[in-house]
């Protein structure tokens, strides 16, 4: 809201500089965001918080200013009048929406331009002068906060005012010249025939005051904030009036605002009062219950030792009614315009605010030991973050809202995605059901900017019909290593990806034997180059080399892109238990290699399983480790077969040194079993 | 007995000069200087001499020994040098080193970790909450009624998924981390001290300082007799730990529906030291977080007994903090994930 400093000084006597005044108001909770200085005035751009509609006008700001500065204030005197009974006919068909309507009739007004002083005030705060009557309503709105509207009385059909809901299909042309369609959610002012104003929002063109107007009806009313807010939103039409009604106009200024306007209209446009009709649909609000607090309680809340006299003084300056009770009890009645003050804590704020937060002491709170400990999910997440960082992965954060188009381009259009009701743009229409589109965007932008080799991970969430799930995404783009000593720069492959995933799960104490990488085909991976990741037999993720068609569709110029995504929801929530110490083998173990030609149907996993089973059946010897040593292909092995070398480490079951002969025997049996069961060829 | 020291010396000298490797030299050393070597034998023979000749002979042996010793040492040095020169392999120590690659934690996560660590050090626990929230947790319980202007500051994304808790309306993406307060208070009784980092969402058109997705950290301390002065003192300690001892802090009265009194927190602009610059908009102060004393209505919503507890709460924008701290001028950089950006931190 704009506030003219000159105008403000009509009500507050002070010599303070505009800059200092701005600081004082800011520190009292009314932030002056900018000062626009001209030759003869300074205008504040102020942020009035939604709880303080009483400050959306000059008198409200003047009251705060006077309280903060301790300066005297002079509010306009309103002439006392007795009102002839003869008013107009008012009918309020929706009493919930309009609790009071005052219509004042003035005859024989002389419509012309306003006097210079009035125009200066209005133009200073960015309002366009129209004519002497309209300007008065605007001036009074800005001065008192009471929205008012002047109708050309002769154009009101039947001389009637009806406050009612609009009928479906009714239309009105508002004073801005726009025709607007109305419906029953919108409250209107109508004459005997048609709508003449959108209540609390804007008047109609057909009854506006022009230079030909002779007789006027001045409306001053109270409209329900929620109804005005909905109408304003629905019509996409906000005005100085609707802004104030939405936030709540003071019940008390419906009349005083009208009285002030009458004084000014009579002065500016002569005219004669015919009469006034004042219709209430609710009985006058009595004084609310007093807020009773003790001075000691206030001080305990603030952590200060203010005197009762000081508190009393502050509250009185803000027009609160205060009486002192027994001991240090204060009985406080907030003024009618302070609907925001409902309880004792609001009193605390008033006192703290006007005392100045700066002047109050700071203490360090006692922070007691509580039963809540830090979230274990967060700790688990950090554990794997550390691992990825140590493996050279940069952490990324991608948008969790994505477009359906990007899902489709990633071959994931079939994933069910939760849609937004009110997306900003189509780029963010659904919550991501997968991290892949986000990772592809990152790959695209980096590769296009010349960064062709990198590895990234994200620890975030994906979203489905069942809610949000902790997820890890991993991507390796381009080469494996960046080592100038290597003659050949090697491209990263599936095993680089698998290695880090195995490490990740091991870090979280997911035993190797519980994790399985199973050959699986997925649309977005190259055929034969991807796996499903099973944990405890349940699919938890996928890993593989992205299909070149998808990379083409994204226009990613680097073709070696590996991606994995793992559902961590359950894994992160697992209770971790301390690792159990396993005694270090004191007697030397014996290792033996086994070199096999493996038929295409047999996987490394099958061989390891058979080895394990064969040795587990032994009485005296245990398998301490199976290590995959080498994979090779070539003319030395049968067509279609793959060469594999495993190194087996044997130990004795009892605490003793193994003899070479017994190992040789077992090893021979293992080989025989593999040949028999899997059809491998020993080499 | 008589030794011809001159010829012995000559002989030794020749042998030493002739030897070509360290092994041969060691043999010569043992021959002369070893426990059973020539010089040891000379000292032994000394005992059989008449007393008057002993000093003279002894001196000669000493000289001989010293001479041989030095010849051997010199020779050793020259052989070592020679060997070193033969083996010469000079590396270029200015070629860049090679290390296992090290990744970079996202700068926003670094900020979150840093802030959470400060509060953990002060006795707070770090908790998290879901991003998909109910109308009740995001608004109603936080004293933000429907159709109220106080909602204007919290424009919100709604999901096409009905709220399963039966409350009318749909689920939404939390527009602030404050709903986590509600969950935590519903689950725990005071005393409690928590901070909650996480993603939040608001339908703001994207520009250099707005993003529809961003991060906040929420703080909550509830106990009997928490005072406004505690809020002030706590935040001052926190901000000094984060931005340095020299910054100044001020609380400015403000409005949040879920706190009363409420305040915005400014710190003196550390770029211009409060004098006014483009970063602080010539104000000398930077708005950095919001805070206040928990509104009794919030305690009421979570079912705490009336009047028993008081609390303080605060919230801050992680992107804004990070941008101020590191001089980043465009919020979009955080989510573009350009390696050249990520690897700066």
Q: Top-level CATH class of A590-682? A: alpha beta
Residue-level pLDDT at A552: 95
Contacts of A304 in chain B (CB under 8 A): 228-229
- Select the more confidently predicted residue: B311 or B10: B311
A514 CB neighbour count, 10 Å cutoff? 12
Contacts of B159 in chain A (CB under 8 A): 418-421, 431
Measured between CA atoms, the residue of chain A closest to residue B125 is A374
pLDDT above 80: residue A99: yes
Do the bridges between strand A590-598 and strand A681-682 make them parallel or antiparallel, or are there none, so unpaired? Answer: antiparallel
- Segment A448-455 shows an average pLDDT of 93
Measured between CA atoms, the residue of chain A closest to residue B200 is A400
Write the residue in A360, A373, A400 that is nearest to B213 by C-beta. Answer: A400
Domain boundaries, chain A: 2-69, 89-280, 291-356, 376-573, 590-682
The answer to whether A561 touches A550, Cβ cutoff 8 Å, is: no
Residue-level pLDDT at B46: 83
Measured between CA atoms, the residue of chain A closest to residue B170 is A421
In this prediction, what percent of chain B has a pLDDT beyond 90? Answer: 57
- Segment A608-623 shows an average pLDDT of 90
The answer to whether A36 touches A227, Cβ cutoff 8 Å, is: no
Measured between CA atoms, the residue of chain A closest to residue B248 is A358
The answer to whether B128 touches A569, Cβ cutoff 8 Å, is: no
Range of the domain at B154: 107-342
Measured between CA atoms, the residue of chain B closest to residue A417 is B160
Contacts of B108 in chain A (CB under 8 A): 397
CA gap A96, A90 in Å, rounded: 16
pLDDT above 60: residue B1: no
Residue-level pLDDT at B50: 85
- Segment A73-102 shows an average pLDDT of 89
Residue-level pLDDT at A346: 95
Which of B255, B280, B291, B338 is the best substitution to test chain A (most A C-beta atoms within 10 A)? B255
pLDDT above 90: residue B53: no
pLDDT grade for A285, boundaries at 50, 70 and 90:
low
Which of A294, A355, A359, A397 is the best substitution to test chain B (most B C-beta atoms within 10 A)? A397
Write the residue in B105, B229, B252 that is nearest to A304 by C-beta. Answer: B229
pLDDT above 80: residue B48: yes
- Segment B267-293 shows an average pLDDT of 84
A291-356 has the same fold as A2-69: yes
Measured between CA atoms, the residue of chain A closest to residue B197 is A378
Contacts of A394 in chain B (CB under 8 A): 103-104, 106, 337, 339, 342-343
- Segment A298-309 shows an average pLDDT of 93
> Chain-centre distance of CA B18, in angstroms?
63
The reply to whether residue A365 touches residue B221, judged by beta carbons under 8 angstroms, is: yes
The answer to whether B216 touches B291, Cβ cutoff 8 Å, is: no
Task: Let me know whether B156 and B267 are in one domain.
Answer: yes
The reply to whether residue A363 touches residue B199, judged by beta carbons under 8 angstroms, is: no
Shortest CA gap B302–chain A (Å): 17
Residue-level pLDDT at A152: 95
Lowest mean pLDDT among A131-145, B42-56, B223-237, B313-327: B42-56
Tell me if B178 is assigned to some domain: yes
Write the residue in A349, A393, A449 that is nearest to B261 by C-beta. Answer: A349
CA gap B12, B6 in Å, rounded: 10
Residue-level pLDDT at A583: 82
CATH T-level assignment (fold) for domain A2-69? Phenylalanyl-tRNA Synthetase; Chain B, domain 1 (3.30.56)
Residue-level pLDDT at A81: 86
Shortest CA gap A465–chain B (Å): 8
- Select the more confidently predicted residue: A573 or B184: B184
- Segment B49-73 shows an average pLDDT of 87
The reply to whether residue B252 touches residue A353, judged by beta carbons under 8 angstroms, is: no
- In A114-253, which ranges are E strands? 148-152, 160-165, 171-173, 179-181, 187-190, 195-198, 202-203, 216-223
Residue-level pLDDT at B280: 79
Shortest CA gap B83–chain A (Å): 28
Measured between CA atoms, the residue of chain B closest to residue A248 is B149
Residue-level pLDDT at A146: 97
Pick the CATH number of A291-356 from 3.10.180.10, 3.30.56.10, 3.40.50.1000, 1.20.58.1910: 3.30.56.10
Do the bridges between strand A454-464 and strand A394-395 make them parallel or antiparallel, or are there none, so unpaired? Answer: parallel
Task: Let me know whether B195 and B260 are in one domain.
Answer: yes
A343 closest CA partner among B282, B23, B299, B339: B299
Q: In this structure, what is the dihedral angle of CA atoms A395, A401, A406, A410, given to the nearest 10 degrees?
A: 50
Shortest CA gap A591–chain B (Å): 30
A43 three-state secondary structure: strand
pLDDT above 60: residue B251: yes
pLDDT grade for A383, boundaries at 50, 70 and 90:
very high
CATH T-level assignment (fold) for domain A376-573? BirA Bifunctional Protein; domain 2 (3.30.930)
Task: Let me know whether B33 and B136 are in one domain.
Answer: no
Please report, for the domain that includes residue B251, its CATH number. 3.30.930.10
The number of residues making up chain B comes to 345
Residue-level pLDDT at A635: 76
The reply to whether residue A360 touches residue B157, judged by beta carbons under 8 angstroms, is: no
The reply to whether residue A468 touches residue B132, judged by beta carbons under 8 angstroms, is: yes
Task: Let me know whether B78 and B121 are in one domain.
Answer: no
Q: Is pTM, for the whole model, over 0.90?
A: no
Task: Let me know whether B71 and B124 are in one domain.
Answer: no
**A173-185: buried (b, 16+ CB within 10 Å) or exposed (e) per residue?**
ebbeeeebebeee
Lowest mean pLDDT among A16-20, A488-492, A516-520, B171-175: A488-492
pLDDT above 80: residue A511: yes
Residue-level pLDDT at B166: 63
pLDDT grade for B168, boundaries at 50, 70 and 90:
low
The reply to whether residue B103 touches residue A451, judged by beta carbons under 8 angstroms, is: no
B324 closest CA partner among B248, B268, B282: B268
Measured between CA atoms, the residue of chain B closest to residue A349 is B261
ipTM field: 0.89
Contacts of B122 in chain A (CB under 8 A): 367
Which of A32, A372, A427 is the best substitution to test chain B (most B C-beta atoms within 10 A)? A372
pLDDT above 80: residue B151: no
Tens-place pLDDT, residues A476-497: 999 987 788 888 888 999 999 9
Task: Let me know whether B313 and B181 are in one domain.
Answer: yes
Task: Let me know whether B125 and B162 are in one domain.
Answer: yes
Write the residue in B103, B104, B158 that is nearest to A391 by C-beta. Answer: B103
Tell me if B242 is assigned to some domain: yes
pLDDT above 80: residue A614: yes
Measured between CA atoms, the residue of chain B closest to residue A446 is B338
| Mean pLDDT taken over chain A | 92
Which of A300, A357, A402 is the best substitution to test chain B (most B C-beta atoms within 10 A)? A357
Measured between CA atoms, the residue of chain B closest to residue A453 is B339
B168 closest CA partner among B200, B140, B203: B140
Question: What domain count does chain B have?
Answer: 2
Tens-place pLDDT, residues B196-236: 999 999 998 899 989 999 999 999 999 999 999 999 999 99
Contacts of A358 in chain B (CB under 8 A): 250-251
- In the numeric block, which tokens belong to residue B189? 């009784």
Tens-place pLDDT, residues A11-64: 999 999 999 999 999 999 999 999 999 888 999 999 999 999 999 999 999 999
The reply to whether residue B260 touches residue A353, judged by beta carbons under 8 angstroms, is: no
Write the residue in B157, B193, B336 that is nearest to A422 by C-beta. Answer: B157
- Segment B101-113 shows an average pLDDT of 96
Name the superfamily (CATH) of residues A89-280: Phenylalanyl-trna Synthetase, Chain B, domain 3 (3.50.40.10)
- Segment A431-455 shows an average pLDDT of 96
Tens-place pLDDT, residues A574-593: 887 888 898 887 888 899 99
Residue-level pLDDT at B283: 79
Shortest CA gap A163–chain B (Å): 22
| Mean pLDDT taken over chain B | 90
Sheet holding A2-4, edge to edge: A2-4, A42-47, A31-37
pLDDT above 80: residue B169: no
Contacts of A375 in chain B (CB under 8 A): 125-128
Tell me if B45 is assigned to some domain: yes
- Last residue of a domain, which of B86, B116, B131? B86
The reply to whether residue A360 touches residue B255, judged by beta carbons under 8 angstroms, is: no
The answer to whether B291 touches B312, Cβ cutoff 8 Å, is: yes
- Segment A426-440 shows an average pLDDT of 96
Contacts of B310 in chain A (CB under 8 A): 301
């Amino acid at each position: 809201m704009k506030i003219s400093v000159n105008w403000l000084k009509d009500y507050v006597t002070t010599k303070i500089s505009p800059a200092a005044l701005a600081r004082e108001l800011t520190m009292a909770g009314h932030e002056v965001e900018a000062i626009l200085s001209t030759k003869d005035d300074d205008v504040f751009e102020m942020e009035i918080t939604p709880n303080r509609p009483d400050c959306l006008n000059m008198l409200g700001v003047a009251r705060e200013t006077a309280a903060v500065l301790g300066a005297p204030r002079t509010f306009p005197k309103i002439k006392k009048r007795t009102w002839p009974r003869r008013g107009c006919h008012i009918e309020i068909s929706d009493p919930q929406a309009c609790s009071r309507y005052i219509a004042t009739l003035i005859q024989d007004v002389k419509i012309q331009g306003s006097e210079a002083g009035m125009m200066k005030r209005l133009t200073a705060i960015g309002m366009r002068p129209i004519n002497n009557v309209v300007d008065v309503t605007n001036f009074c709105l800005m001065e008192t906060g009471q929205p008012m509207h002047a109708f050309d009385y002769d154009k009101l059909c039947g001389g009637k005012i009806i406050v009612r809901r609009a009928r479906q299909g009714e239309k009105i042309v508002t004073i801005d010249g726009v025709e607007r369609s109305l419906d029953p959610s919108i409250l209107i002012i109508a004459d005997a025939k048609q709508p003449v104003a959108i209540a609390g929002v804007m008047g109609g063109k057909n009854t506006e005051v022009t230079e030909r107007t002779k007789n006027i009806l001045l409306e001053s009313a109270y409209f329900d904030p929620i109804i005005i807010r909905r109408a304003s939103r629905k019509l996409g039409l906000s005005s100085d009036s609707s802004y104030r009604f939405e936030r709540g106009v003071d019940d008390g200024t419906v009349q005083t605002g009208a009285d002030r306007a009458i004084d000014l209209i009579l002065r500016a446009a002569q005219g004669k009062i015919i009469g006034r009709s004042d219709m209430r649909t609710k009985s006058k609000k009595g004084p609310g219950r007093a807020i009773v607090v003790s001075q000691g309680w206030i001080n305990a809340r603030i952590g200060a030792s203010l005197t009762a006299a000081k508190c009393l003084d502050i509250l009185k300056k803000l027009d609160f009614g205060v009486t002192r009770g027994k001991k240090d009890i204060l009985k406080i009645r907030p003024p009618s315009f302070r609907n925001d003050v409902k309880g004792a804590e609001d009193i605390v704020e008033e006192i703290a605010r006007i005392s100045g937060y700066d002047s109050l002491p700071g203490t360090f709170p006692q922070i007691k030991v509580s039963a809540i400990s830090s979230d274990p999910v967060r700790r688990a997440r950090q554990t794997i973050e550390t691992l990825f960082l140590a493996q050279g992965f940069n952490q990324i954060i991608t948008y969790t809202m994505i477009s359906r188009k990007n899902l489709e381009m990633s071959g994931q259009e079939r994933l069910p995605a939760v849609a937004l009701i009110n997306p900003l743009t189509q780029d963010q229409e659904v919550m991501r059901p997968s991290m892949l589109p986000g990772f592809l965007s990152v790959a695209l932008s980096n590769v296009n900017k010349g960064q062709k080799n990198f590895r990234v991970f994200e620890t975030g969430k994906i979203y489905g019909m069942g809610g949000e799930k902790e997820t890890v995404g991993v991507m390796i783009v381009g080469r494996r290593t960046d080592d100038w000593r290597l003659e050949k720069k090697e491209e990263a492959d599936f095993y680089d990806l698998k290695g880090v995933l195995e490490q990740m799960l091991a870090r979280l104490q997911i035993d190797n034997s519980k994790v399985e990488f199973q050959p699986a085909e997925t649309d977005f991976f190259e055929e034969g180059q991807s796996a499903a990741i099973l944990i405890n037999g349940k699919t938890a993720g996928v890993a593989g080399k992205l299909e070149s068609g998808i990379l083409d569709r994204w226009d990613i110029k680097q073709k070696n892109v590996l991606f994995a995504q793992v559902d961590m929801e359950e894994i992160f929530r697992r209770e971790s238990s301390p690792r159990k110490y396993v005694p270090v083998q004191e007697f030397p173990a014996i290792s033996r290699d086994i070199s096999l030609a493996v038929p295409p149907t047999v996987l490394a996993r099958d061989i390891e399983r058979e080895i394990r089973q064969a040795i587990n059946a032994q009485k005296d010897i245990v398998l301490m480790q199976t290590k995959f040593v080498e994979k090779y292909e070539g003319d030395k092995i049968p067509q279609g077969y793959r060469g594999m070398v495993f190194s087996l480490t044997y130990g004795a079951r009892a605490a003793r040194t193994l003899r070479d002969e017994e190992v040789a025997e077992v090893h021979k049996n293992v080989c025989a079993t593999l040949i028999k069961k899997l059809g491998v060829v020993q080499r | 007995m008589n030794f011809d020291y001159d010829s012995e010396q000559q002989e030794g000298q020749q042998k030493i000069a002739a030897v070509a490797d360290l092994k041969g030299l060691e043999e010569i050393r043992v021959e002369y200087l070893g426990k059973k070597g020539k010089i040891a034998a000379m000292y032994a023979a000394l005992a059989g001499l008449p007393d008057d000749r002993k000093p003279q002979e002894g001196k000669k042996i000493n000289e001989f020994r010293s001479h041989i010793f030095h010849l051997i040492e010199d020779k050793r040095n020259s052989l070592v040098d020679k060997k070193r020169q033969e083996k010469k392999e000079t590396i270029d120590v200015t070629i860049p080193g090679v290390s296992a690659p090290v990744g970079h934690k996202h700068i926003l996560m670094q900020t979150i970790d840093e802030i959470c660590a400060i509060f953990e050090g002060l006795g707070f626990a770090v908790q998290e909450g879901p991003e998909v929230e109910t109308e009740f947790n995001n608004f109603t319980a936080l004293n933000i009624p429907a159709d109220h202007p106080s909602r204007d500051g919290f424009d919100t994304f709604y999901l096409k998924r009905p709220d399963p808790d039966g409350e009318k309306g749909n689920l939404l993406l939390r527009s602030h981390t404050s709903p986590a307060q509600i969950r935590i208070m519903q689950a725990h009784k005071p005393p409690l001290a928590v901070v909650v980092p996480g993603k939040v969402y608001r339908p703001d058109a994207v520009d250099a300082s707005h993003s529809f997705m961003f991060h906040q950290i929420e703080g909550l301390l509830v106990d009997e007799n928490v005072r406004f002065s505690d809020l002030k003192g706590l935040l001052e300690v926190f901000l000094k730990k984060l931005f340095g001892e020299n910054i100044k802090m001020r609380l400015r009265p403000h409005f949040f529906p879920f706190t009363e009194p409420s305040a915005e927190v400014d710190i003196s602009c550390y770029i211009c030291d409060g004098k006014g610059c483009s970063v602080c908009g010539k104000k000398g102060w930077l708005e950095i977080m919001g805070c206040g004393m928990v509104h009794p209505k919030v305690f009421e919503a979570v079912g705490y007994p009336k009047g028993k507890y008081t609390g303080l709460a605060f919230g801050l924008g992680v992107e804004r903090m990070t941008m101020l701290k590191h001089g980043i001028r465009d919020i979009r950089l955080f989510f573009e994930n350009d390696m050249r950006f990520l690897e700066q931190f």
